[in-house]
Amino acid sequence: MAALAVHDLRQLRLRSHRLGESPSRGPAETVRRMLAVQAQNLAGARWSLGLRTPGLTDAALADALRAGTIVQTWTMRGTLHLTAPADAPWLLSLLGPRAWSGRGKLWRDAGLTGAVFEKAADVLGTALEGTALPRNTVLRLLEDAGIPTGGQRGSHILRYLAETQVVIIGPPQGRTQTFASFRDRIPAVEPPGREEALARLAFRYISGHGPATARDLAWWSGLTLADSRLALHLAAPALAVLPADGEPSYADPEVLDARSGGPATAHLLPGFDEYTIGYADRTLVLEERHRSAVGPAVNGLFRPALAVSGRIRGTWEQENRGGSVRLRVATFPGEALPGAHGAAALRAAADRYSRFLELPVVLDGADG
């Protein structure tokens, strides 16, 4: 296979992300395809799924979270993600130890020991059986049991208990976060062996994010580079290896026929969308000279980004005005939208966001 043009690589990535011409049929399928969707900003994560699932509304997605067909927990890197219930146990078993292995000093400084975590697990394992409770109530239960939760202690305890499959974020109560028993919301499954889990991780990551490299997988999953290379080696028979001057890049063979022309497409990506952040090297879709405009900023945040035909060409922000939303789009200097096709693509992207929110969306003109 000849080396692919940058435009073709972007088209492959768009299709892997279900942002191209092969959209998912429902939010549960989208989550399974992506494997995990970063979700410390839950509203943004919900729109990430909306982008990839035609006809999905925010209200319907909230119903899916309440029903538990999609769940939210700290699957990797100590960061909240949305994932399918069946994927949570093996992801946490494989990646949880990597996430908490670097927290020893934080825990010591906070006075957290194995005995504290064990006692907290006993308290919440009993208290949450058959119910879901608001975060503040959960922390009060720990305090009543003699487990201080001040400072960051409560957050460390809850995250560790989630990573060790004792608790999980429960169905939202309005904007209030709840916690539930892990076994109440997650089906009991036989965990795969380590090599099977590594191969599954690599294949599923590439299917939802490719083309991507071992370094990308290592960043996204939190695994070591050696383990990421092993994972891709184990999954390689089911993947396509793309020509590259340096480290091999992998894609799902199903997306290889996606290279095509056509009018410009636009996507209003939320700040932590997987298309932006799911890679160690983001230069395929975001030029280095524009990186600081998108993020990560000093505080670790990413700004919502405008992608046109797979390339990030600006940022956007929204202002909620009662029963409507106003969008302000700012393209990067010298990156004006490509003529009438670009303007039409942006209008179509705003209309899609409007349908997702079920609110009118007013679009301010893009500059550049």
- Domains of the chain: total: 3
Q: What's the mean pLDDT when you consider all of the chain?
A: 93
Query: Helices (DSSP H) in the chain: which residue ranges?
Result: 6-16, 27-34, 42-52, 58-67, 88-100, 104-110, 114-127, 135-144, 153-163, 182-185, 194-209, 214-221, 225-235, 274-277, 291-294, 339-357
pLDDT at position 119: 98
Q: Are residues 113 and 221 in the same domain?
A: no
pLDDT of res. 334: 86
Based on the fold, state whether residues 168 and 247 are members of the same structural domain. Answer: no
Question: What CA–CA distance (Å, rounded) separates 68 from 64?
Answer: 6
pLDDT at 366: 57
Q: What is the pTM of this model?
A: 0.94
Question: Do 131 and 247 sit in the same domain of this protein?
Answer: no
In a domain, 5, yes or no: no
Residue 2 lies in a domain: no
Q: What is the pLDDT of residue 206?
A: 98
- Rounded to a whole number of angstroms, the CA Rg of the chain reads 21
Label residues 55-87 b or e (16+ Cβ within 10 Å = b): ebebebbeebbeebebbbbbbbbbbbbbbbbeb
Asked if pLDDT for residue 200 goes beyond 70, the answer is: yes
Reported as a single tens digit per residue, the pLDDT across 2-52 is 678 888 899 999 999 999 766 778 899 999 999 999 999 999 999 999 999
pLDDT top residue among 308 and 23: 308
Q: Where a domain ends, among 134, 153, 185? A: 185
Residue 6 lies in a domain: no
Residues 351, 117: Cα–Cα separation, whole Å = 48
- 259 falls in which pLDDT band (50, 70, 90)? low
User: Residue 295's pLDDT is what?
Assistant: 87
Expressed as residue numbers, the domain containing 294 is 266-363
Residue 93 lies in a domain: yes
